Structure 1
């Protein structure tokens, strides 16, 4: 027998039992009958370690015996108190962790700390699930999980059209990505509070729709001229989120192109941040009147973007077959006037199939930024007036120029 291994395993099992038992001891109701506390859990963990040493049969017998004790304790506790099941489940977990300690003490110790933390966090977790998270947010979370873990694995990764352009799995990855970024933004805004200022609201609203953000902050600029500089900065931060989402969409379609445009896109983001920071330093950023949206994301918006991406891909392929690479790139740039991510996905697909070189695709992304800047600048002037439009346009022009400079440096 390897005494060093046995001592380490039994010591780990004992430590796990003492840790879990301490937490359970502190959370017991004073009148609880048949409660399992510090000593009981220490003994249970040791039982699991010793039983595992004798083999699988002995471990199964030990688990059955502990399960019988847990059932007896549950029935006895139910006579005078609503016992719940946490204590009984914790008893079985202590035995299993002791058994795991025989094979991997480090893994068992880590799991033991995790179990103890979950047991300790009863009140915070109950408050999170019952008070902090709304029913709508739970529905959105379940929808996101089902989309990523149930629907996505079932979709084929081969093209479904005769031209080999549209892949359902790739399109659904983009849907999941848009939903996930919306959820992340919603959680962040809930955490910091929308009233902390326009910058947070602007950035996270850009993941949903940067165009809508430019319009809404333009209206705010007209209604409250004192917030004009801060509103323009918030609109630029919304476009920053849109550029980050563009990079994520490109990575989902063509990871190679995403690496190639990393520095140019970083330069473009830096240009946006520079003008946005200048506006925030000039104005008051404490005027946001509304809280976060009640929904983390809109599935209809994500599906619409995926549908637009599929249409743009098919259109680009048709233009490519009719007029070559120039025709496909022209179609993508025109599409960027309305939907940046769809156009970016089209360019990324052409790069992944070899229709465009990495340098051509990188310059294509600059063209998309330029098209987006034109569209958003016009929207800014219309929605927010001259001063707001000039500030937004300055940031978008600097973004495009910085992206072009970065592309020139990386492709020459």
Structure 2
């Protein structure tokens, strides 16, 4: 049996190469189905054979000679290019089919070399991109110059600047990590772009709330900064944007409870007594905003002049630097006796860090009640910081309205702390 498997093993990679070429060929054949015979550079049969040629080249490279494998790939690619050149001389053709043909050769070679997963994933992505041709063209045609510039700038800060920053601590008390700090900038800017795109696709109301709910799973602070920036640069009513801030806070509370249940379950019940009523305040504000006439879809939609605003992102990054340094100082000044202070300070920006620190304490170090009170501190501190951030970014009366649901949430949470501390 093992001899049969060994004998058939070369056919597996080549067979996969043929199948991947056939998959891409089906899409190419369907896309050009209305064209007359003889006008296409390559169709379903050609792509299947190109995949097979790539597989044969890969096997020849491994089992005979790399020169023979290279010769097969070069010959197949040359045939594609010659066919494209002759067809282009008669008509204005897209180079897509020729480029995809060369990619198919490479996928066949990968399959024959045993890189099956990579070959399959790349073939699926290639087919998906080809199948979305009409939608991609419509999307590009609908872009404004401002939106294009926003995409380019986001690519610059995320793909060019971020990888170049050192991933190590430096500065006073080694409190700052350049890459982690810049990730805050990337996150806030990305959420701003996502929110802008969602508003265009879903409408102002549904787009804002969808962005807030999804983004808050990652960082409710980043969502608050992005929404506040949109409030500052918006014309018309901004109640839905404020509802997005409130919704992000509610999602943060839910995420925290799930994380505590997984990492520090002994603190879940007392913590829930504090944060669940506070989270319901945000949910109530969202429900009120959606029922309020000024926040209806028929009302004037907020107009965002700039979908990419780096200012709030840089402000949040600076806040992270300040809080990180303050947290290191508190750790050295108070030690383990100041656990609540340290967790409260670190939780102003990152509540998850406080929860993880709690989960690493030895069993029995804290009673459930004290653990719940200690974890409530960073959550409420984080809520107040977000309220201050919303006010600082949105500014003026708009900033006060943006911060109002967060302040109300913190007040209810503080009342819960008092009840937990006195009555239980």
Q: TM-score, normalised by structure 2?
A: 0.68
Shift of 1:153: 2.8
Shift of 1:302: 0.9
SS state of the match for residue 52, structure 1?
A: helix
Moved more, 134-143 or 64-73: 134-143
Q: Which runs of 5+ in 2 are unaligned?
A: 216-221
The match for 2:411 among 393, 397, 403 is: 397
Name 2:245's counterpart in structure 1.
238
The match for 1:45 among 45, 51, 64 is: 51
Q: Deviations over 1:15-57 (max 9, x none)?
A: 2222222322333444875611122112222222222222233
Q: Which runs of 5+ in 1 are unaligned?
A: 222-230, 336-340
Q: Deviations over 1:107-144 (max 9, x none)?
A: 4344333322222222221222222x333333323333
CA distance in 2, matches of 1:374, 1:104: 51
SS state of the match for residue 163, structure 1?
A: helix
Task: Identify if the C-alpha distance between structure 1 residues 260 and 344 changes in structure 2 by more than 3 Å, giving closer, same or farther.
Answer: farther
Q: Are 2:106 and 1:83 aligned?
A: no
CA distance in 2, matches of 1:37, 1:313: 59
Task: Identify if the C-alpha distance between structure 1 residues 79 and 243 changes in structure 2 by more than 3 Å, giving closer, same or farther.
Answer: same
Q: Are 2:376 and 1:344 aligned?
A: no
Name 1:225's counterpart in structure 2.
none
Q: Is the 8 A contact 1:48 1:99 kept in 2?
A: yes
Q: Which runs of structure 2 are paired with 1:129-278 in the superposition (5 Å)?
A: 129-131=140-142, 133-194=143-204, 206-208=223-225, 220=237, 231=239, 235-241=242-248, 267=276, 270-276=279-285, 278=287
Task: Identify if the C-alpha distance between structure 1 residues 241 and 78 changes in structure 2 by more than 3 Å, giving closer, same or farther.
Answer: same
Shift of 1:366: 4.0
Name 1:113's counterpart in structure 2.
124
Q: Is the 8 A contact 2:340 2:377 kept in 1?
A: yes
Name 1:227's counterpart in structure 2.
none
CA distance in 1, matches of 2:53, 2:403: 72
Q: Deviations over 1:310-350 (max 9, x none)?
A: 345446666787898999988998x9xxxxx994359969x
Task: Quote the RMSD (CA, aligned, Å).
Answer: 5.1
Task: Identify if the C-alpha distance between structure 1 residues 195 and 30 changes in structure 2 by more than 3 Å, giving closer, same or farther.
Answer: farther
- How many residue pairs match? The answer is 381
Name 2:219's counterpart in structure 1.
none
CA distance in 2, matches of 1:123, 1:3: 45
Q: Which runs of structure 2 are paired with 1:321-336 in the superposition (5 Å)?
A: none
Q: TM-score, normalised by structure 1?
A: 0.69
Shift of 1:78: 2.2
The match for 1:365 among 374, 378, 389 is: 378
Q: Is the 8 A contact 1:140 1:297 kept in 2?
A: yes
Task: Identify if the C-alpha distance between structure 1 residues 194 and 50 changes in structure 2 by more than 3 Å, giving closer, same or farther.
Answer: same
SS state of the match for residue 166, structure 1?
A: coil
Name 2:320's counterpart in structure 1.
309
Name 1:54's counterpart in structure 2.
60
CA distance in 2, matches of 1:322, 1:80: 79
Name 1:26's counterpart in structure 2.
30
CA distance in 1, matches of 2:68, 2:157: 42
CA distance in 1, matches of 2:52, 2:162: 43
Task: Identify if the C-alpha distance between structure 1 residues 399 and 59 changes in structure 2 by more than 3 Å, giving closer, same or farther.
Answer: farther
